[in-house]
């Protein structure tokens, strides 16, 4: 029996982006991404973070580890900045969750089969605006085909204790499978039904969301003995390009928010280079919602095999981080604070929930980190307090209090302009500055010469810091910086190559021709 069997109908998820793959994919195809595709939480979640095991409480439902740092701005050496890094950890991190098992699920998949899902996902030789200039679509996998393959990878993580259903939508909805205990599902028939799906019609996201809620409610009401001990999760696969129904951000937000308040929680899976990250960032501000992206079915299957249990498991909710005795200037690590600014005098930030973190072979934790930029008032060396409050699954409130002071670091300032307490802080500050630089460029809508000169200077800083940190995985951000520095220079060349190298393409235009490796 799972330790999560006592969860009733309350289920909370980490409400944030779980990657920045849309940003990376667009740049790889020489398309300038939208600012919303580069978010701090998604960036942080893509890395593993070191934690001194001697400094943690191994039996804590939620534990907190903090590091202080003082650092000069690499682009303004007269500017001294104060940071407090915060890592959340849990006794359920990594292999510990595998030991107890994830919660049982009432799982509904909602798949977008609208006309925009017929577009080719991407071709490396296509470089301009995705929808207006795309060519050789028939030579690429469509977004719908990638989504189908992703579904097969996702379904491999269900077991006999789960219930599953699936609907599709364009400008209306159709049911592929009514919610059924997974061990009673005709897998061969389901497999065939998914493979036969074709794109059609408009995109009514609100209809798909509403229908999922209706069917889940009806199943739970009619089958309480099969569903009362299970968490409710809706996986929603789409390119998020609605054009019919209620498709305003606030309208969709209202629908998702209402279902979320009733115990229905969402994981949005974005498909395609033109996945609407701005809309997704709005929708995941509802309680228990998150999003990730898929660009390769094999990679997505690997990711689901590793992370599925963590995505659908929640261990705490209504978490707040509060500072007493000092002021927070900026908070990095949540879409709710995507521009990072905290209102003057408002030294409390709120996160709706916490999931356990996956770990790697070095026992480093994936994500779960936040960065607080403190006001210069901490330079007086007077201690201040960090208070973290949260509720467990049974509704019991817990509080963690840590006293923090910069006094030891201030005493070292004369000898060193950069004082980092550990690798956690140094790496987190570096990635935060990187994301801020990128967001500034993307927000302007162009990569002008002035931006490139500034980015070149920052690249030198990034390379130096990466070497000192000793984390080669950071090199992928150097690749992204180089893509921005070269942006615009290869667009014409790529289009010419697109015309000359057609024979090198793989003909994957038939949505029915999905490799049997992706069967359930």
Q: What is the DSSP string of 268-309?
A: EEEESTT--HHHHHHHTTSTT-EEEEES-HHHHHHHHHHHHH
Scanning the structure block, which residue is given the tokens 């705490």?
Answer: 316
Higher pLDDT, 212 or 251: 212
Cβ atoms < 10 Å from Cβ of 502: 12
User: What angle in degrees, to the nearest 10, is found between the helix axes of 21-28 and 475-485?
Assistant: 50
pLDDT band of residue 17 (cuts 50, 70, 90) is confident
pLDDT tier, 508 (very low <50, low <70, confident <90, very high otherwise):
very low
Parent domain of 274: 103-312
The answer to whether the beta carbons of residues 342 and 331 sit under 8 Å apart is yes
Q: What is the Cα–Cα distance from 406 to 415, expressed in whole angstroms?
A: 15
User: For residue 513, is pLDDT > 50?
Assistant: no
* pLDDT value, residue 313: 86
Q: Report the pLDDT value the prediction gives residue 130, as an integer from 0 to 100.
A: 38
Task: Report the chain's mean pLDDT, rounded to a whole number.
Answer: 83
Residues 6+ apart with CB under 8 A from 63: 56, 57, 88, 89, 90, 400
Which of these three, 248, 281, 312, is where a domain ends? 312
Number of structural domains (the chain) is 2
Position 292 in a domain: yes
Last residue of a domain, one of 312, 334, 353: 312
Q: Cα–Cα distance between 491 and 80 in angstroms, integer?
A: 40
Mean pLDDT, to the nearest integer, of 443-466? 95
Is pLDDT of 82 > 60? yes
Residue 318 lies in a domain: no
Q: Give the model's pLDDT for residue 283.
A: 82
**Domain final position from 262, 291, 312:** 312
Q: How far apart are CA 311 and CA 107, in angstroms?
A: 13
Q: Does the residue 501 lie in any domain?
A: no
Residue 473 lies in a domain: yes
Task: Please give the Cα distance from 219 to 351 (Å, whole number).
Answer: 31
Q: Which of 169, 176, 160, 238 is nearest to 210 (CA)?
A: 169
Q: Work out the burial of residue 297: count CB atoms within 10 Å of its CB; fewer than 13 is exposed, 13-18 middle, 19 or more buried.
A: buried
CATH number at residue 206: 3.40.50.410
Tell me which of 226 and 156 has the higher pLDDT.
156
In a domain, 459, yes or no: yes
451 and 308 within one domain: no
Residue that wins the pLDDT comparison between 10 and 75 = 75
- What phi, psi does 148 have (nearest 5°)? -60, -45
pLDDT in tens, 334-369: 866 555 555 555 688 887 778 899 999 998 999 999
| Section 296-306 average pLDDT | 85
**Given a cut of 80, is residue 121 above it in pLDDT?**
no
Under the banding of pLDDT at 50, 70 and 90, the label for residue 496 is: very low
Residue 409 lies in a domain: no
312 class by beta-carbon count within 10 Å (0-12 exposed, 13-18 middle, 19+ buried): buried
Cα–Cα distance measured from residue 257 to residue 175, given in angstroms and rounded to the nearest whole number: 23
- How many C-beta atoms surround the C-beta of residue 275 within 10 A? 28
Give the model confidence (pLDDT) of 31-69 as tens digits. Answer: 999 999 999 999 999 999 988 777 778 789 999 999 999
Residue 87 in domain: no
Beta partners for 438? Answer: none
**Which residues is 168 bridged to in the sheet?**
111, 174
- Report phi then psi at 132, rounded to 5: -85, -35
Helix or strand or coil: residue 351?
strand
How much is the pLDDT for 489? 64
Q: What's the pLDDT score for residue 341? A: 52
Q: Which residue has the higher pLDDT, 425 or 489?
A: 425
Percent pLDDT > 70 in the chain is: 82
**Nearest-10 crossing angle of helices 475-485, 423-444:** 20
379: its two tokens = 């330079």
What is the chain's alpha carbon radius of gyration, rounded to the nearest angstrom? 23
pLDDT grade, residue 296 (50/70/90)? confident
Q: Is residue 133 part of a domain?
A: yes
pTM over 0.85: no
- Say if residues 173 and 208 touch (Cβ distance below 8 Å): yes
Q: Which of 33, 22, 49 is nearest to 438 (CA)?
A: 33
**Is the distance from CB of 234 to CB of 110 less than 8 angstroms?**
yes
Gap between the Cα atoms of 515 and 195, Å rounded: 10
């Amino acid at each position: 029996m799972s330790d999560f069997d006592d969860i009733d109908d309350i289920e909370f998820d980490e409400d944030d982006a779980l990657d920045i793959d849309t940003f990376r994919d667009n740049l790889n195809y020489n398309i300038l991404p939208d600012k919303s595709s580069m978010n701090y939480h998604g960036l942080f979640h893509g890395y593993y973070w070191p934690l001194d095991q001697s400094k943690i409480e191994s039996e804590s439902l939620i534990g907190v580890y903090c590091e202080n740092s003082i650092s000069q701005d690499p682009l303004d050496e007269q500017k001294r900045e104060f940071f407090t890094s915060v890592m959340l950890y849990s006794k359920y991190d990594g292999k510990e969750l595998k030991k107890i098992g994830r919660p049982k699920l009432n799982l509904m998949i909602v798949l977008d089969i609208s006309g925009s899902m017929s577009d080719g996902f991407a071709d490396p030789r296509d470089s301009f605006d995705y929808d207006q200039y795309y060519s050789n679509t028939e030579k690429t996998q469509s977004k719908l085909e990638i989504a189908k393959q992703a579904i097969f990878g996702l379904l491999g993580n269900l077991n006999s204790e789960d219930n599953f259903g699936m609907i599709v939508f364009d400008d209306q909805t159709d049911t592929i499978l009514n919610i059924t205990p997974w061990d009673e599902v005709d897998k061969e028939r389901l497999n065939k039904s998914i493979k036969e799906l074709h794109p059609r019609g408009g995109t009514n996201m609100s209809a798909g969301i509403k229908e999922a809620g209706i069917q889940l409610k009806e199943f739970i009401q009619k089958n309480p003995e099969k569903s009362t001990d299970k968490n409710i999760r809706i996986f929603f696969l789409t390119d998020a390009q609605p054009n019919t129904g209620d498709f305003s951000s606030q309208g969709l937000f209202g629908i998702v928010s209402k279902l979320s308040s009733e115990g229905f929680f969402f994981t949005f899976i974005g498909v395609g280079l033109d996945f609407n990250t701005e809309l997704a960032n709005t929708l995941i501000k509802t309680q228990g919602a998150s999003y990730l992206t898929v660009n390769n079915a094999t990679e997505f299957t690997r990711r689901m095999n590793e992370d599925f249990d963590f995505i659908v498991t929640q261990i705490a909710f209504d978490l707040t981080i509060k500072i007493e005795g000092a002021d927070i200037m900026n908070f990095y690590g949540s879409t709710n604070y995507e521009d990072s600014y905290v209102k003057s005098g408002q030294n409390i930030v709120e996160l709706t929930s916490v999931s356990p973190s996956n770990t790697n072979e070095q026992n480093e934790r994936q994500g779960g980190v936040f960065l607080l930029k403190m006001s210069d008032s901490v330079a007086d060396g007077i201690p201040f307090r960090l208070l973290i409050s949260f509720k467990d699954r049974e509704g019991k409130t817990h509080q963690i209090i840590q006293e923090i002071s910069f006094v030891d670091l201030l005493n070292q300032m004369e000898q060193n302009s950069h004082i980092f307490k550990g690798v956690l802080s140094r790496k987190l500050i570096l990635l935060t500055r990187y994301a801020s630089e990128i967001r500034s460029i993307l927000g302007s809508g162009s990569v002008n010469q002035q931006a490139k000169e500034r980015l070149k200077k920052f690249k030198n800083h990034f390379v130096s810091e990466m070497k000192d940190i000793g984390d080669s995985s950071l090199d992928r951000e150097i690749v992204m910086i180089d893509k921005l520095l070269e942006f615009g220079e290869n667009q014409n060349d790529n289009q010419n190559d697109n015309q000359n190298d057609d024979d090198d393409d793989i003909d994957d235009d038939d949505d029915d021709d999905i490799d049997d490796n992706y069967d359930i």
